[in-house]
Chain A
């Protein structure tokens, strides 16, 4: 989290299974003419590799790297729909409370073991903390909260598993996907004790060679299960080195000097560099959709933001248009809701827009209420000039509204350590993303078990995971119930309406606010080919570019 609005999504969560159906399909056709030589790539990324176990969350660009070793049970198509991937079939009950997942036959992990129903059960049980309670696997981390809607996971046949949910969920597959984070891990890794974090064993097109906090080296998996349209075994590349380069300048100079073949960037503080690279003839720059919604989290549990006046004052004080211009150079749009227009929850109603008079009035009301001036501390990454510039810009708006904002320079490690115990008064972090709500709802609901008093973590210390993802630490039964209802609603129009109401409720209470949306970009030199060409097994394609970059399975290097 070097950049304030970039880091994010480090603590995300688990999986559980039921069943669904999907048909096995052929590999999508691709360009067959050119010789797809191998070779190796060096990729510059802006996130590090804290580890590969359930609790270690790979963020954005390092998730891209992790996904060369790992695959997910399901995949998301470019239209947002979830399709089976390592699974072959997914079936659900009519009430969306029971899902049957069937594993694709003939896939094996890098350690040679078969992917089957047992492996799926182990994965799901590890993510929801069941194996941790038994002392068999390390902590699930925030995944335990993410998957808390699951009641039971049952193996029904060699290759099939049934997942039962506490509350009906039409988008369970999105939870199973967790925005690309819930990997298919080998049971040997999950049950391998401390090595779980350092030895990733997956099913992906590449195998681990070595990993460090700042580097992941992978090599071709000769037994990979997929082929291209010509019947050539995938992947094409012999190996990839992912290097963590915290400084933007390092990635820019790296790709320009050919030290890097590929480099990833974020719109948070790197707009100028992205635009400059777009003009460069030697490289191609692709961008993600504007589907990332960085938030200003206001801690509703502690002073001063346990007061609505304080939250309202801050929300009104931020000049989002000015911020987008000065900090993002209008590369991304100023926010009009806590999520973006692409998301099903998008609703401008109740969103407290920039209004200096109202901000001053709310701050004055706070003073009457609390007996002192509105003052709060805001952390930023010490040493990151972009981070400092971001908070300084916000501080400027606060000062204009008569609010005192203290800047807390902290190391990245400190910010991460303190963020999820919800110790900060306020902070900026990108957690919410996408078109659906599986990766949004956990951050804005108060109890991820859905009020299930019988949930397996309920009486354990891990019960804190139910609310840990809600960085604003608020309990709002109105919005909670609206979100539960929406998730159970099969009718799209009705679902959208319910979500809109929930959004309005949260926005009018000013639980959190958003300044501007965010995108990601990836630059690759012209000798890198095949980006986005390979299709999915279930037909269609993945999104070309996301926060976790591109898929390297079908990427190759041209002649020289």
Chain B
């Protein structure tokens, strides 16, 4: 199987006044060509950091990054910043969570889209405008001509997200990171955007990494899923395998916390009790242990390794779901 992106043994730490903060711990992940991979976790689980670090977008004196990232056969982690930058847009592109903050407020929509075309593809000004209009219609924006002169603050959330998608796909990237692309949007708009992304992915033959906290979003739109908790991958499997054969109590908990329209009114939505562990000090045992409803003494004593259950299904648990072991409720 060809991989477009391969992350190996990635560690990311931040220097803070309170000490080193470990955001991502020993993560390895392969994205097969043409596939769509979901990364799922609560906020703070390290999924956004992982996706940005994979692209090399985290910089600054406070970031410590270890590990290896290979994109399209090229090892990004050993390349210079300029070389990595050359992969952006044409190789990799990213859609951000909040289209309000991810579009430059002081620049016109048209300029922001055309910029990539001009800089990365070297298009002429005229050609860039033509292509921009094409892109805007591709992301189903009505009256793309008028859109060119607008500022982001003049658009609705859905429109902004479409603009951002247009920017991301403008140079026909091979791999698209979509970081919570629908979180900031209304529910009705969410499905439209997800549909649009799926269509575009098929049309443009892109691979995609879909970062989300919502297992429901992953369900219909991905081929593989990796679940992250406290900076680690705790479960990873093809999407159908995961939903069919869940191993991690955490994944189960995540699934239970999704509201569905079939839910009885008045019934309380399940929440995951407790909080994420303090990222400045890694626990000795399983990081989910303090919150796990099925916790055993071993869980707090030893850190579980990532185990392969077959069918490409990996998980990190001493006592996975579905095994006939007595659990205390």
**Quick check: do A and B touch in the complex, using CB within 8 A?**
no
B contact residues vs A (CB 8 Å cutoff): none
